[in-house]
Chain A
Amino acid sequence: MPNYKMSLLCCGGTGCRASESVRIVERLREEIAAAGMDNDVQVVVTGCFGFCEQGPIVKVIPDNTFYTNVKPEDAEEIVKEHVVKGRKVTRLLYEDPDTQKHISDSKHMGFYQKQLRIALRNCGFINPENIDEYIARDGYEALAKVLQGTPQEAIETVKKSGLRGRGGGGFPTGLKWEIASKSPGKEKYVVCNADEGDPGAFMDRSILESDPNSVIEAMAICGYCIGASKGLVYIRAEYPLAVKRLQIAMKQARDYGLLGDDILGSGFKFDIEIRYGAGAFVCGEETALIHSMEGKRGEPTVKPPFPAVSGYLGKPTNVNNVETFANIPVIFLKGPEWFASIGTEKSKGTKVFALAGKINNVGLIEVPMGTTLREVIYDIGGGIKGGKEFKAVQTGGPSGGCLTKKHLDTPIDYDNLTAAGSMMGSGGMIVMDEDDCMVSVAKFYLQFTVDESCGKCAPCRIGNKRLEEILDKITKGKGTMEDLDYLKNLSKVIKDTALCGLGQTSPNPVLSTIDNFYDEYVAHIVDKRCPAHKCRALRVYAIDPDRCKGCTACARACPAGAIKGEVKQAHVIDTEKCIRCGACLEKCKFNAVTVQ
């Protein structure tokens, strides 16, 4: 095997593949061959670097040069300039949003400096389709060690680490394993929940695409601990790349005897099967997920019994999230004390978040628990897009709530987020700026819940629909102050009476926006005004007579014939006729059209 002197790591994640990263890899290999350097320079296709919005990413090793927005036609320059002559291609370097300076390498990028990557340790670093690279980074050593001890010892290690479930609930993982291990029964199951249906979330998909072996290894460890010989990964059929990489990894693991009968010569037997979900949000809930795998309707049932007692086919079943599993091997390699030293008192380790919305560095990040929102948004996220004002951040997706300026310095962990009226959830983080209307945000999430409710219980099926209708009324300027009380009361009833987690948390976006942005609701209701100018029905268009040059462009564009005026004279909008389409605002070259 040649000893490479340089590596080009090319992102082969879903995001970058969508912008031709496969072609970039081919072009780089051609150029390297043309330069006669195939024995010196290796091109490695990795998983996601977390910086998808500026992808495709190519990272040059060993100098950590981080190229963004690379196109196939850039391959020649990268090879001829950087690889051959050592000159970085400046125009492809990441540009700091504050200083507009090009940053030479990933070690100097704010995006990476505050991150601590445990679950994402191999993402953007190894080739996920080559198990050897995983093994070279201590892969399967945790499993081998666990197999030398007793299941109880391994469960103790997980308990000591303080790891809590990353799928939303935050239940202590070691305790969950212990319950499943003590449940009587010969046949047990390990389930990996890879359903991930929150809007904007792609943490789990990315882990499976970038480092499938870490999940396989952890599932086998879990199997040994609870006494299961069969694992099931429940994943959406709409994530084909994650499915493919998982299949490749499973095959390679079997070939090496890391899955199957007599794993690592220990006599322990464990194998994994993939089950496909159709993409319903509620199927991420563990009881619904189990029913879906059994071929029944994907509807939740009342707990208890918990899956650990009676799950798949009525047998004891341990369900964990992808990210939860991805942490497991590291806990055994570096020790539970090391893991427990990271994070806050009750939330140990790190959390992966998908940063999205009005933020400069959109992407996938992993930070120690206890990092503040300010650090995440400003240091890692690079601040708000276009220098606008930060308004709120929604965590926990449709089950969570929004956090505002006053929470910016709150350390992020399970308990603090809950106390602040939101929740950790699976890790979606959507940042909003001054242009976002909080009533509309609440309405957006309620629409999602209404669409995704399975309809089994009335509070969720009917109650959420009512919430959505009232929110809609308010955004149209037809709400009353009584509606606000009604929203709050109905929300509480839904939370208390819904059958599963979907309904029990669905009113959170409503409650937290009312709590944190009460004035904005009042403005919609009393003043018939949307402070963010988002709600179309509440917009009032007007023309500033001092600025208007009488060019007639707006009048010609207005589909409603609502603008009157003589050439070279100030124009006027008839608010009665105006249908608030915004065409005049776009047409006016003199900034004379205003919107309230």
Chain B
Amino acid sequence: MSKIKSLDELRQMKARLESQMDIREKSNNPEKLVQIRVAMATCGIAAGARVVMNAIIERVEREKLPVIVTQGGCMGYCYAEPTIEVKRPGEDPVVFGHVNTDKAMEIIDKYVLHGELVDGILPVNYQTIEKN
């Protein structure tokens, strides 16, 4: 193991190590971040939710977005899976249905980052992240 020789080297090292702590850091202040919850019940997974979730997580990591991605259980929308719920800080959550990877990227571009709504919103009729 090589020695750290200066504050700069320490900071470079920290920058390399930071990403492994990223989800822990974010979970410390979820209320300040956009929370995306991917429904991962049996039907969600069957409909490809895991692929969508991985795509979202990879983008969030790559672009260091202020977003925390969690998985949820059954939301009661089997007909519209995969579904994702997005909660912007201080706003009510919104649920999107039939989300494939492309749709997920559109949601991130428009709604997550700028609050612009996109097609595919489902009526909310279940317990949200907040009420849980």
Are B27 and A85 closer than 8 Å at their CB atoms? no
Inter-chain contacts of B73 with A (CB < 8 A): 85-88
Shortest 9 CB-CB distances between A and B: which pairs?
Answer: A257-B3, A87-B73, A86-B71, A86-B40, A265-B5, A136-B17, A144-B7, A62-B27, A63-B70
- Would you list 11 pairs from A and B whose C-beta atoms are within 8 A, ordered by A residue? A3-B19, A4-B20, A5-B69, A62-B30, A86-B40, A87-B41, A136-B17, A136-B18, A144-B6, A144-B10, A145-B7
Contacts of A6 in B (CB 8 A): 23, 71
Mark each residue of chain B from 16 to 51: 1 if its CB lies under 8 Å from any CB of chain A, else 0. 011111011111001100000011111001000000
The closest CB in chain B to the CB of A133 belongs to: B21
Q: Closest B residue to A148 by CB, please name it.
A: B7
Given contacts A86-B40, A86-B41, A145-B7, 12 further A-B contacts (CB under 8 A): A3-B58, A4-B23, A61-B23, A62-B70, A63-B27, A104-B132, A107-B31, A135-B10, A136-B17, A141-B7, A257-B5, A264-B7
B61 within 8 A of A: yes
Chain B 112-128, CB-CB to A under 8 Å as 1, else 0, gives 00000000000000000
**Judging by beta carbons under 8 Å apart, are A61 and B7 in contact?**
no
What does the 1/0 interface line of A207-218 toward B look like (CB < 8 Å)? Answer: 000000000000
How far is the CB of B25 from the nearest CB of chain A, in Å? 8
- Tell me which residues across on chain B come within 8 A of A85, comparing CB atoms: 40-42, 45, 73
A85-B73, A86-B73, A135-B17 known; A125 vs B24 contact (CB < 8 Å): yes
Question: Which B residue's beta carbon lies closest to that of A260?
Answer: B3
B7, B53, B57 — which one has the most chain A CB atoms within 10 A of its CB? B7
A256 lies within 8 A of B3 (CB): yes
Q: Which of A62, A141, A257 contacts B23 (CB 8 A)?
A: A62
* A135 pairs with B13, CB closer than 8 A: yes
* B interface residues, Cβ below 8 angstroms from A: 1, 3-7, 10-11, 13-14, 17-21, 23-27, 30-31, 38-42, 45, 53-54, 57-58, 61, 68-74, 132
Quick check: B19 and A265 within 8 Å, CB to CB? no
**A107 touches which one: B30, B45, B54 (CB < 8 A)?**
B30
Closest to B40 in A: A86
B3 to chain A, nearest CB (A): 3
A144–B23 Cα distance when bound, in Å, is 26
Nearest CB of chain B from residue A31's CB, rounded to whole Å? 16
Residues of A within 8 A of B20 (CB): 1, 3-4, 132-133, 136
Q: Across the two chains, which residue of chain A brings its CB closest to B13?
A: A135
Q: Which residues of B contact A84 (CB under 8 A)?
A: 40
**A residues in contact with B7, CB < 8 Å:** 141, 144-145, 147-148, 264
- Taking a contact as CB atoms under 8 Å apart, the answer to whether A62 and B74 are in contact is no
B14, B19, B45 — most chain A CB neighbours (10 Å): B14
C-alpha spacing A239/B37, complex, angstroms? 42
Tell me the bound Cα distance from A272 to B52 in angstroms: 50
| Contact among B1, B14, B61, B68 with A138 in the assembled complex (CB-CB below 8 Å) | B14
Q: Which residue of A lies closest to B131 (CB)?
A: A104
CB A263 to nearest CB in B, in angstroms, measures: 9
| Chain B CB within 8 A of A353 CB | no
Which residues of A121-136 are within 8 A (CB) of B?
125-126, 132-133, 135-136
* CB of A261 to closest CB in B, whole Å: 10
Question: Which A residues are CB-close (under 8 A) to B58?
Answer: 3
Known: A1-B20, A86-B73, A137-B21. A256 touches B27 (CB 8 A): no
How near does chain A come to B6, taking the closest CB pair, in angstroms? 5
Chain B contacts for A126, CB-based, 8 A: 21
B23 close to A5 (CB less than 8 A): yes
> Which A residues lie within 8 Å of B31 (CB)?
107
Q: Please tell me which one of the listed residues B5, B30, B68, B71 contacts residue A264 in the complex, with CB atoms under 8 A apart.
A: B5
Does A282 lie at the interface of the complex (its beta carbon under 8 Å from any beta carbon of B)?
Answer: no
**Is B4 a contact of A257 with CB atoms below 8 Å?**
yes
Quick one: which of A61, A139, A140, A255 contacts B24, CB cutoff 8 A? A61
Interface residue A64 (Cβ < 8 Å from any Cβ of B): yes
Instruction: Tell me the nearest residue of chain A to B24, going by C-beta.
Output: A61
Partner of B4, one of A5, A86, A145, A264: A264
Cα A256 to Cα B132 in complex, Å, equals 44
Q: Within 8 Å CB of A144, what residues of B?
A: 6-7, 10
> Quick check: B39 and A86 within 8 Å, CB to CB?
yes
